[in-house]
Amino acid sequence: MSSENPFSWKFVAPLYMGSTLNPINSSMIATALVPIAAFMHISVAQTTILVTALYLASSIAQPTAGKLSEEFGPRRVFLAGILMVLLGGLLGGAGRDLIMLVLSRILIGVGTSTAYPSAMLIIRRRAEFAGMSKPPGNVLGALQIAGVVTAAVGLPIGGVLVEAWGWRTTFFVNIPFALVAFAMASLWIPRDVPIKGAKTVREISSRIDVPGIIGFAATMTALLVFLFSLPNPAWVALGVAAVLGAALIWWEMRVKHPFLDVRLLAANLALTRTYVRFASMTLCIYTVLYGVTEWIGAARGLSSLETGLLLLPMSGLSAVVVGPISKRNLVRGPLIVSAVSSIVASIGVLFLTTSTPIIWILMITLIFGVTMGTMASGNQTALYTQVTADQIGTASGLFRTFGYIGSIASSALIGIVFHTKVSDIGMHRIAIIMVVVSIIALLLTIADRRLGESTKRDPATA
């Protein structure tokens, strides 16, 4: 292994392709909501459940897929997820009513969520087998580009598909990608080791902590119901989330193989801070992807396709930024740059008006491109070095879940501010909140003394 590249293009290609499916599906559906509503004779507001369904399914499935990868093998979980994407694409493309489309989005959400945590575990095991003492920066950087940066690409892709062939193509497009990813993974990713020992249903349930998974799913569902109810808060849902969360913590503190390792989060505060930073900056990024784009559409009358194309340079710049940072395994510096650039760009949003030239809007989104690239690469490298190999699957899935919490909080923020009207004043209020969140992220980064040591320390002592 030492005499050849352990991460050949054949090895990483299916991992990258699989990891692009979740973020692209997250944003691509936005362009199809209006035509779906027209076809089914329902309101556009009702179709937003298609967005909610994928968010909810993904936030629960990401850490679950990580846990299953650790127990049963990441390749098996990766392939099972791709098959679910294939089934979801078929079901949605042939959908005749909203229920079929919701089921399709749940399948796509769960299926695409298996890719990132299983890929992180596959990469970590490969690196350790190859005797690598440092994170494989190039591989992690490309994985982050595939898994986060591509979210902005979904809007123009969806716009082109819907305008050319109709809304069903936003579902059908998953089929060829799933088939290719499944074929590549089957051929090029080494098989998992055989599962050792007899595994009864009771033993499997104990190993993967089924009650913990159910409790986490129920807690997240209640929390997301509350967030999506804003600006008319469903306080009962928040209360239920708090009670279920407390019960989940109580349970996880007592089981032998916890799904959500509360003790790890309490002992490994560096990892906990990474999650909080990622959620905070994701809130700002998704506010740009959806809040600023909604404002652009209302203020300038641009279509979803035109707005998506306006954001492509932001996505491209973030991809360029990720490469050199990940290659050098940099953490602290990029995270400081991420927070500072977010502050600067958010201040720029504060001065946007309906008469602002498009070039200035483009410049502001490009600054956010720097934010996205540095945030993504810095936090992922920190995560990789803050946990052990047998924890990386679940930890990576939970990392993505915190990202979803940030994006959902962003949706709630946009819904509150733009509840009655999309306006310059509303956009400025959002900008103030983004400035505050970015400042908090900056202070959290500067005060975190462990970040400078993250690529040198043993994760167990972090």
CATH number of the domain enclosing 448: 1.20.1250.20
Assigned domain for 228 exists:
no
Task: Indicate whether 183 belongs to any domain.
Answer: yes
What's the pLDDT score for residue 141? 86
Per-residue pLDDT at 401:
87
Is residue 168 pLDDT above 90, yes or no? Answer: yes
**Whether residue 74 has pLDDT greater than 90:** yes
* Per-residue pLDDT at 232: 80
What is the rounded average pLDDT of the residues 373-386? 90
The 3-class secondary structure across the chain, one letter per residue, is CCCCCCCCHHHHHHHHHHHHHHHHHHHHHHHCHHHHHHHHCCCHHHHCHHHHHHHHHHHHHHHHHHHHHHHHCHHHHHHHHHHHHHHHHHHHHCCCCHHHHHHHHHHHHHHHHCHHHHHHHHHHHHHHHCCCCCCCHHHHHHHHHHHCHHHHHHHHHHHHHHHHHCCCHHHHCHHHHHHHHHHHHHHHCCCCCCCCCCCCHHHHHHHHCHHHHHHHHHHHHHHHHHHHHCCCCCHHHHHHHHHHHHHHHHHHCCCCCCCCCHHHHHHCHHHHHHHHHHHHHHHHHHHHHHHHHHHHHHHHCCCHHHHHHHHHHHHHHHHHHHHHHHHCCCCHHHHHHHHHHHHHHHHHHHCCCCCCCHHHHHHHHHHHHHHHHHHHHHHHHHHHHHCCHHHHHHHHHHHHHHHHHHHHHHHHHHHHHCCCCCCHHHHHHHHHHHHHHHHHHHHHHHHCCCHHHCCCCCHHHC
User: pLDDT tier at 462 (50, 70, 90 boundaries)?
Assistant: very low
Would 265 be classed as within a structural domain?
yes
Q: Is residue 112 part of a domain?
A: yes
The answer to whether position 4 is within a domain reads no
In a domain, 361, yes or no: yes
Q: How confident is the model at residue 51 (pLDDT cuts 50, 70, 90)?
A: confident
Tens-digit pLDDT profile for residues 257-271? 888 888 878 888 889
pLDDT in tens, 90-136: 999 998 999 999 999 999 999 999 999 999 999 999 988 888 878 88
pLDDT, average across residues 68-75: 90
pLDDT at 457: 47
pLDDT of residue 374 exceeding 90, the answer is: yes
Is residue 398 one of the residues assigned to a domain?
Answer: yes
- Number of structural domains in the chain: 1
pTM: 0.84
Average pLDDT for residues 425-437, to the nearest whole number?
Answer: 93
Q: Is the pLDDT of residue 459 over 50?
A: no
Residue 122 belongs to domain spanning: 9-209+255-461
Q: Which residue has the higher pLDDT, 157 or 118?
A: 118
Q: List the single range of 25-34, 162-171, 234-243, 291-300 with lowest mean pLDDT.
A: 291-300
pLDDT for residue 298: 74
Please report the pLDDT score of residue 196 as a whole number.
Answer: 65
**Weakest-pLDDT range from 275-284, 391-400, 410-419:** 410-419
> Averaged over 244-256, what is the pLDDT?
91
In this predicted model, what pLDDT tens digit does every residue of 271-292 receive, in sequence order? 999 999 999 999 998 888 778 8
Mean pLDDT of the chain: 86
**Mean pLDDT along residues 436-456:** 80
197 pLDDT band, cuts 50/70/90, is low
Q: Which residue has the higher pLDDT, 145 or 73?
A: 73
Q: Which residue has the higher pLDDT, 282 or 414?
A: 282
Q: Average pLDDT for residues 394-411, to the nearest whole number? A: 86
**pLDDT class of 2 with cuts at 50, 70, 90:** very low
Question: Does residue 219 belong to any structural domain of this protein?
Answer: no
